[in-house]
Amino acid sequence: MPKKKLSSDDALALVLSGLKGEVPVSDLCRKYGVSTATYYKLRDQFIAGGVQGLQNNGKTNQVKSLELRIKELEQALGRKTLEVEVLKKTEDFFTRKLRK
């Protein structure tokens, strides 16, 4: 079955309908165009995080902001590493020039 991106509202409706148990999960999945594995993944995200668990692929805003901060720090570290490399090469160059 091709992947279908559900909106948060559709995911919530799917999970709540499945939890009610009035309609078989397979029928709900067919209706929403998702696999049963996707349903169970969404259900588990909902149980773990409520409505917010279905938004942002189950990631909370705090997790997203921390991931962004990590990315920014990794980029800053990369820039500083390059600066150190350039300074070392510059120092080596001038040290060799002074010895001659």
Which fold does the domain 1-59 belong to in CATH?
Arc Repressor Mutant, subunit A (1.10.10)
pTM of the full predicted structure? 0.50
Identity of the residue numbered 54: L
What is the enclosing helix (H) or strand (E) of 81?
Answer: helix 61-99
Is the distance from CB of 14 to CB of 28 less than 8 angstroms?
Answer: yes
Q: What is the pLDDT of residue 46?
A: 84
Determine contact, residues 38/18, Cβ cutoff 8 Å: no
Strand, coil or helix: 3 = coil
CA within 13 Å, CB half, 94: 5
| Domain assignments of the chain as residue spans, ordered by start | 1-59, 60-100
- The tens digit of pLDDT for each residue in 40-73 reads 999 988 887 776 666 666 566 777 889 999 999 9
Rounded-to-integer distance, Cα 65 and Cα 60, Å? 9
Structure tokens at 76: 């800053």
Residue-wise pLDDT tens digits, 6-53 = 888 899 899 999 999 999 999 999 999 999 999 999 998 888 777 666
